Structure 1
Amino acid sequence: MKIDIKNENGTAIARLSGEIDHHNARELRSELDRFIASAQPRELAIDFGGITFMDSSGIGLIMGRSKLMKECGGHLEVLNPQPYIRRVLKLAGIERIVKIR
């Protein structure tokens, strides 16, 4: 699992690659939470374009970061999910919580 976070045009973009499962979700959560706490971005986009597998840990990752962003006065978006991940997110109702593009 790899994560790369950069600020682009006023939006923080976290590009993920690899798999999101219960083995590595904790590390992802910690790294994203540290970034949110230190940088206080108004907008955070998590780019799922490089994700090859995701289990329910990915849903928890999104929900928790969305809550944290709202507490900090910002919002979260999910970018470029693979078609099967987009279906999982829709079935879980994530699109009611965050914007999926």
Structure 2
Amino acid sequence: MQIKTQRKGPVLIAKVTGELDHHSAKQFVKEMDKQLSDETVRELQLDFKGLTFMDSSGIGALLGRYKKLAGKKGKLTVKNMNRTVGRIFEMSGLSTVIKRVG
């Protein structure tokens, strides 16, 4: 898994490629938490165009970042999911708390 981040004011855009699974979830959490520790970040936009797979560890990582942002009145959005990742996102119930855009 690779993560490329970019800041646009209070918005952090993270392009995630590869697989977000039990092998990479810890790396994802560490990198995102490092970026989200900046109190000026109010929104995390995850671009999953290059994400090929996500398992329950990835789901947990997303939910944890959602809670972290909600705690500081921020928001998390995701976009560009392929069919497989989108189906996992829907079946897990993440779509009820994390907004899917674009």
**8 A Cα contact 1:44 1:76, kept in partner:** yes
- C-alpha separation in 1, matches of 2:12 and 2:74: 11
The aligned counterpart of 1:21 is 21
- One-letter amino acid matched to 2:17: S
Divergent runs of 4+, >4 A: none
2:44 is the alignment partner of 1:44: yes
1:38 positional shift: 2.2
The aligned counterpart of 1:32 is 32
The aligned counterpart of 2:90 is 90
The aligned counterpart of 1:69 is 69
1:61 positional shift: 1.3
* 1:38 match: secondary structure: coil
TM-score (norm 2): 0.91
1:24 positional shift: 1.1
- C-alpha separation in 2, matches of 1:9 and 1:37: 15
Percent of pairs with identical residues: 37
Q: Which runs of no fewer than 5 residues in structure 2 stay unpaired? A: none
1:39 positional shift: 4.9
**8 A Cα contact 1:40 1:72, kept in partner:** no
- One-letter amino acid matched to 2:90: K
